[in-house]
A and B are shown apart, each in its own frame.
Chain A
Amino acid sequence: MAPTRREFLKIAGVSAAGLLLPPWAPLAAGQSPNPAVPPAAGPLPALTARRWAMAVDAAKCRPGCTDCIAACHAAHNVPDFKNPKDDIHWIALEKVGHVFPAEAHSALPEPLRALALPVLCNHCQNPPCVRVCPTKATFKRADGIVMMDYHRCIGCRFCMAACPYGSRSMNYRDPRPFIAKLNPEFPTRTKGVVEKCNFCEERLARGLFPACVLACKEKVLSFGDLEEPGSEVRRVLERGFSIQRRPELGTGPQVYYRL
């Protein structure tokens, strides 16, 4: 998949920002000092970071828009069973009151109360799902991405019980007949394994930003290295106050919300 003009500009920006990195930070493709980060898989150098993070500038979110969900689910062969029980999603839109039950009070302005926020895996710094997995099928990379090995997962769903955010989905049945349009560049899953958002690690390896970030015309989502001053995510977070979902649990969620 060739990068669009907009994607290319984003990449160029990140690459330029990369010049500000300390000397030990990886600059060139395939020379990542971190063996957990795969080398570039395409024509562009792989994007690397010390800690990937996302910022959600919720006020910009256009009501009724589901572009981020459509782009993510198309890119990752996420099935649509049209059945809430078996539902699989990597990203969803949820009411502010459900995402931040402790913060949403009755005097909030109506538009804010009605606002739906994108929710996805928080790629926690201290992920409970990784702690409880009995086979290390879910693990955290050095760059902070919490990943799944679909070939090792035994489907015990301990990770689903452990996730405080409801970010994980189980393949309760064979997903393949329910994939609207197959993307041959990403694996499909088998029944009986758990899956979730992977911060588009397969795209980062090819030098591309996450599908949801690029799909959002309102630029609600920004993505980058939280440990790199000047990265897009840092610039957005420096604009004002932001919150994380249930930070009091000590999970260290890496998706930040500006409301």
Chain B
Amino acid sequence: MFEKALKGSRGYGIWVAFLLTLTAVGFYFYLRQLAYGLGITGMGRDVSWGLYIAQFTFLVGIAASAVMLVLPYYLHDYKAFGKITILGEFLAVAAVIMCVTFVFVDLGQPGRVMNVLLYPSPTSILFWDMIVLNGYLLLNIVTGWTVLESDKKGVPPPSWVRPLIILSIPWAISIHTVTAFIYAGLPGRGFWLTAIMAPRFLASAFASGPALLILFCLLLKRITRFDAGEKAIQALAKIVTYALATSIFFVLVELFTTFYGQIPGHMDHFRYLFTGLDGHRMIANWMDVSAVVACLSLVLLIIPRTRQKESLLALACAGVFVSLWIEKGLGLVITGFIPSPLEALPDYIPTGPEIAITTGVWALGLLLITLFYKIFISVRTED
């Protein structure tokens, strides 16, 4: 089936070339980072994780989109999702590959990455994250590809694939939980030390992943002959609505505990995040946008008339994606470090090379999604 990704329209060729260029630019700056060290980024002694790890954290959420399709389709026989479960699985594959790449580019000594396997450390959450992410990647590649291949041949998928698909459901929950545990078990970081971290991750993941999937479905309907179907898209939209509402609720629950409890070590982080501390407002400015956009999107999604209107639904989904990207792809990781353990208020500003590398990894992921979806569309619409 790979050959189907190689031929396409002129627009397809230009888009692939564009993504390849961005990936190449990112790779060039990664080579510079390899030569100079991670000092080429905005990360420093106090804010020691930045954009890379934040993107990783956000994209683990995107990888969840698959489970929100697989679960209704395979456990509840919700037929409307039958056409698009593979889209979810391929999106998950691309997202997990981006996750792994972001962790890799964040390493100070990438040549030693195999030490994680040579000296397995079960007390380290990173060790478990490696296991669950690679397992999830494998599950989705195998199941997505096998089901699509059967589709092409016009036969039902082999019976051994169903148990793997069922396994991928709890596995999807595990990638979020374990990723949240990277943060939620660190005694000295009051911002992250909260049991609601994993539930929050899950809620925001089930909003941002399906929101992106809706956008992709609407895009495919416009530029290809593939139509996911009104019913499937509206069902996804309801999932996004409930997940976004839950996500916002979880944030409010955290704000209550923090500001009613008034423990300074916890409050300072949230004040930094939402209002800024001593004039350090960079993240707070972004979070203002995130909060407003999340609330507006929720309104558009809750009202049936706006949710059912395709253009407004697209707007709301874009809003959900942007809002949660700011929340997890910027705010969550960086704020954990500010104030520092010695009460400093360091500023973290990503550098040009860092942004180029980040864009490069995103372009690589979009390229994978493009190729996967091209194969999918070719199989589904041409035969």
Residues on A lying within 8 angstroms of B by beta carbon are 84-88, 94, 97-99, 101, 119, 128, 130-137, 152-158, 160-166, 169-174, 190-194, 246, 249-251
A164 touches B45 (CB 8 A): no
B residues 159-196 touching A (CB-CB < 8 Å): 182-183, 186-189
Taking A133-B124, A134-B116, A171-B37 as contacts, is the C-beta distance between A155 and B45 under 8 angstroms?
A: no
Q: Chain B contacts of A99 at CB under 8 A?
A: 342
B107 in contact (CB, < 8 A): yes
Q: Name the distance in Å between B348's Cβ and chain A's nearest Cβ.
A: 9
B234 in contact (CB, < 8 A): no
B37 touches A152 (CB 8 A): no
Task: Give which listed residue, A132, A155, A251, contacts B108 with CB less than 8 A.
Answer: A155
B216 in contact (CB, < 8 A): no
B37 touches A131 (CB 8 A): no
B341 touches A166 (CB 8 A): yes
A119 touches B126 (CB 8 A): no
Chain B, Cβ-Cβ closest to A246:
B188
Chain B, Cβ-Cβ closest to A130:
B123
B342 touches A98 (CB 8 A): yes
B48 touches A137 (CB 8 A): no
Q: Chain A contacts of B43 at CB under 8 A?
A: 172
Task: Give which listed residue, B38, B39, B124, contacts A158 with CB less than 8 A.
Answer: B124
Q: Number of B residues whose C-beta is below 8 Å from A? A: 46
Taking A84-B45, A172-B39 as contacts, is the C-beta distance between A119 and B113 under 8 angstroms?
A: no
A132 touches B45 (CB 8 A): no
Q: Chain A contacts of B118 at CB under 8 A?
A: 135
Task: Give which listed residue, A85, A97, A135, contacts B44 with CB less than 8 A.
Answer: A85
Q: Name the distance in Å between B303's Cβ and chain A's nearest Cβ.
A: 41
Task: Give which listed residue, A98, A131, A155, A163, contacts B109 with CB less than 8 A.
Answer: A155
Task: Give which listed residue, A131, A134, A161, A246, contacts B48 with CB less than 8 A.
Answer: A161
Task: Give which listed residue, A135, A172, A249, contacts B188 with CB less than 8 A.
Answer: A249
Q: Name the distance in Å between B367's Cβ and chain A's nearest Cβ.
A: 26
Q: Name the distance in Å between A158's Cβ and chain B's nearest Cβ.
A: 6
Taking A128-B188, A154-B116 as contacts, is the C-beta distance between A166 and B342 under 8 angstroms?
A: yes
Task: Give which listed residue, A86, A137, A164, A171, contacts B115 with CB less than 8 A.
Answer: A137
B336 touches A161 (CB 8 A): yes
Q: Chain B contacts of A251 at CB under 8 A?
A: 187
Alpha-carbon separation in the docked complex, A147 to B105 (Å): 26
A134 touches B124 (CB 8 A): yes
B45 touches A170 (CB 8 A): yes
B229 in contact (CB, < 8 A): no
Q: Chain B contacts of A192 at CB under 8 A?
A: 37-38, 107-109
A135 touches B115 (CB 8 A): yes
Chain A, Cβ-Cβ closest to B38:
A172
- Besides the known contacts A85-B42, A164-B188, 18 further A-B residue pairs in the complex with CB atoms under 8 A apart: A84-B346, A88-B45, A101-B343, A128-B186, A153-B108, A154-B108, A155-B38, A156-B108, A156-B126, A161-B49, A161-B183, A162-B188, A165-B188, A172-B37, A172-B38, A191-B38, A192-B107, A194-B108
User: Once A and B bind, how many residue pairs between them come within 8 Å at the CB atom?
Assistant: 148
**Interface-central residue, B46, B264, B341, by most chain A CB under 10 Å:** B341
Contact with A along B103-128 (1 / 0, CB 8 A): 10011111011011011010111110
A-B contact pairs, 30 of them (CB 8 A): A84-B44, A85-B39, A85-B45, A98-B342, A98-B343, A98-B344, A101-B343, A119-B342, A132-B124, A134-B126, A135-B119, A137-B119, A153-B109, A153-B112, A154-B112, A155-B38, A156-B103, A157-B49, A161-B48, A164-B187, A164-B189, A164-B341, A166-B45, A172-B39, A172-B44, A173-B36, A190-B109, A191-B36, A192-B38, A194-B108
> What is the predominant secondary structure among interface residues of chain A facing chain B?
loop
Q: Name the distance in Å between A105's Cβ and chain B's nearest Cβ.
A: 12
A156 touches B107 (CB 8 A): yes
B246 in contact (CB, < 8 A): no
Task: Give which listed residue, B36, B45, B342, contacts A87 with CB less than 8 A.
Answer: B45
B48 touches A136 (CB 8 A): no
B44 touches A86 (CB 8 A): yes
Alpha-carbon separation in the docked complex, A94 to B46 (Å): 15
Alpha-carbon separation in the docked complex, A136 to B246 (Å): 38
Taking A98-B343, A251-B187 as contacts, is the C-beta distance between A154 and B109 under 8 angstroms?
A: yes
Alpha-carbon separation in the docked complex, A190 to B37 (Å): 10
Q: Chain B contacts of A249 at CB under 8 A?
A: 187-188
Alpha-carbon separation in the docked complex, A157 to B124 (Å): 12
B residues 18-40 touching A (CB-CB < 8 Å): 36-39
B340 in contact (CB, < 8 A): yes
Chain B, Cβ-Cβ closest to A165:
B341
A152 touches B112 (CB 8 A): yes
Contact with A along B83-110 (1 / 0, CB 8 A): 0000000000000000000010011111
Q: Name the distance in Å between A130's Cβ and chain B's nearest Cβ.
A: 8
Alpha-carbon separation in the docked complex, A157 to B123 (Å): 16
B342 touches A128 (CB 8 A): no
B127 touches A160 (CB 8 A): no
A133 touches B121 (CB 8 A): yes
Q: Chain B contacts of A161 at CB under 8 A?
A: 48-49, 183, 186, 189, 336-337
**Interface-central residue, A86, A101, A156, A171, by most chain B CB under 10 Å:** A156
